[in-house]
Amino acid sequence: MLERHGQKFGWIDVLWLLFLIGLALLPPIKEIHKQVILLAIGVSQVFEGRLIAWNSSRGRFYSVLIKVLLATLLLGHTHTTGTDLESLVFAGINSDYWPIFFLPVVTAAIYYGPVGTLIWTAIASLAYSSYLIPPVLLYDFEITWSVGYSLLALRFLFFFLAAILVNRFVMENRRQVRLYQSLSESLAESNRKLQQAQEEARRAERLAALGQLSAGLAHEIRNPLGVIKGSAEMLAQKLGSAPPLAGELAGYISSEVNRLNSLVARFLDFARPAHLDLHAVAIAPLVDRALDAASHQLPAANVKIQRDFASNLPEVLADEQFCEQVFLNLILNAFEAMGAERGTSAQPGVASPIGTLRVSIAPDSRDGAPGVAVEFEDTGPGVPAELREQIFNPFVTSKKSGVGLGLSIVAKIVDDHGGAIQLISKDHSGACFRVFFPAAAKG
């Protein structure tokens, strides 16, 4: 296929051109105006797609109008009758090329609805009947119903019949296209939900297996850690008068044991089943408390916080302590992503924020179930593309330090609540975590 202005020049267009060439080769062949008009019709047909692509509504209007005008002009230059006055006066209306008006009529039926099609067909009919004006007004010819008007009415009826039939086919085709598009969108959405459910099922299986393994390892590690820590403390007491290096090494043992013990505790948090105390709670106060707690843990964060809380939020069915833990973890992650450091104190006189954390709460629904969605959107570097699909898996992290259990624990708590957590992709830099909790039953 040839290409014309981004549109494919197909075999239908070739047939159109052959049709017009056939008309050009028929009498009157030597009528130059006829050939020019047919050439103009061919050019308008070839460039019609570009005209409509330029402006859909105006392009359709101009396309039909141009064909009406060209068809009207063609009738005046295609008479093949005698040379008497009546033949010359009625040359246009008696032209054998009168079916050329089917071209604008069918074009209108393709581009417009039923009302627009009827209007354009009436305009084409009036343009065709305009050739009756000169003989009636200028030459005072009398036109009878049985000979003139009945034939004219018959042609008008054929115009409208063709317009209605073509338009009915086009409208049915458009309805089928919309139906197929709706079905395609529905299938795409079902496929997306199926893929999401499969991913969640695989993640749940991995979490269950890792949870059992983590629980066993944590219990096995915690016992010798307790012995090591007790031995280190006793050793530090015995080394009171020993060289400073020995006491320092004993302190290292104790601090590293504490760090390992904290890691083991996180493993147990991830592995053990959560015993939730579910009841109806307002989610906005929990987010406020988590924001205050995060500000105390990272006093040097100097993060600008934007709250966008909707009014009249429904209560959610949740455990306050675990929910606050979820929000606190996500807020601390956002603070650290924007450059905050744990254990540092605020510097006096520093006013410029290192970033902005936007927290929004709004009613939402998931699979038809009502609830509340909380979004934490920061202006940090964001999550690398290769980690986005696995960010909630254990031991996956974008931090230089850390074991990658924080978001896994968060995801587990949210799953235990029957909610959902997502990492939403944004056009700009930064990360946006969206947490959904189902609403509590009313009554």
Q: Of 72, 81, 89, nearest to 127 (Cα)?
A: 72
SS3 273: coil
Residue 16: predicted pLDDT: 76
SS (H, E, C) 366-396: ECCEEEEEEEEEECCCCCCHHHHHHCCCCCC
Residue 361 or 228, more confident = 361
Of 161-165, 212-216, 332-336, 398-402, the least confident: 398-402
Of 101, 117, 143, the position where a domain reaches its end is: 143
409-433 tens-digit pLDDT: 888 888 888 888 888 876 667 889 9
Residues 349 and 413 grouped into a single domain: yes
Residue 347: predicted pLDDT: 47
Question: Whole-number mean pLDDT of the chain?
Answer: 80
Judge contact between 361 and 308, C-beta under 8 A: yes
Residues 286 and 433 grouped into a single domain: yes
How far is the C-alpha of 413 from the C-alpha of 2, rounded, in Å?
60
Of 33-42, 136-145, 384-393, the least confident: 136-145
Residues 312 and 431 grouped into a single domain: yes
- Mean pLDDT, residues 199-213: 70
Res. 308 pLDDT band, cuts 50 70 90: very high
> If you write DSSP's letter for every residue of 198-237 in order, what string do you get?
HHHHHHHHHHHHHHHHHHHHHHHHHHHHHHHHHHHHHHHH
Percent of the chain with pLDDT over 70: 76
Q: Of 360, 283, 288, 286, nearest to 317 (Cα)?
A: 283
- Mean pLDDT, residues 183-194: 89
Which residues, other chains included, contact 10 with Cβ-Cβ below 8 Å and sequence gap of 6+? 1
Residues 325 and 425 grouped into a single domain: yes
Handedness of CA 319, 378, 334, 293 (dihedral sign): negative
Of 177-191, 235-249, 326-340, the least confident: 235-249
Residues 254 and 343 grouped into a single domain: no
Residues 298 and 362 grouped into a single domain: yes
> Which of 161-170, 298-307, 311-320: highest mean pLDDT?
161-170
> If you write DSSP's letter for every residue of 316-351 in order, what string do you get?
EEE-HHHHHHHHHHHHHHHHHHTT--TT--PPTT--
What range defines the domain where residue 32 resides?
2-143
Number of domains in the chain: 3
The per-type count for the chain, helices as H runs and strands as E runs, is: 13, 9
Residues 7 and 128 grouped into a single domain: yes
Residues 289 and 429 grouped into a single domain: yes
Q: Is the pLDDT of residue 275 over 80?
A: no
Residue 191 forms part of a structural domain: no
Extended beta strands in 213-313, E state = 279-281, 303-309
Percent of the chain with pLDDT over 90: 28
Residues 106 and 255 grouped into a single domain: no
Tell me if the pTM is above 0.85. no
- Mean pLDDT, residues 90-99: 75
Res. 185 pLDDT band, cuts 50 70 90: very high
Res. 211 pLDDT band, cuts 50 70 90: low
Residues 332 and 395 grouped into a single domain: yes
Residues 296 and 380 grouped into a single domain: yes
Residue 345 forms part of a structural domain: yes
Of 250, 271, 292, the position where a domain reaches its end is: 271
- Mean pLDDT, residues 342-355: 53
Of 87-91, 220-224, 258-262, the least confident: 87-91
Residue 343: predicted pLDDT: 44
Residues 228 and 344 grouped into a single domain: no
- Mean pLDDT, residues 181-189: 91
CATH at residue 318: 3.30.565.10
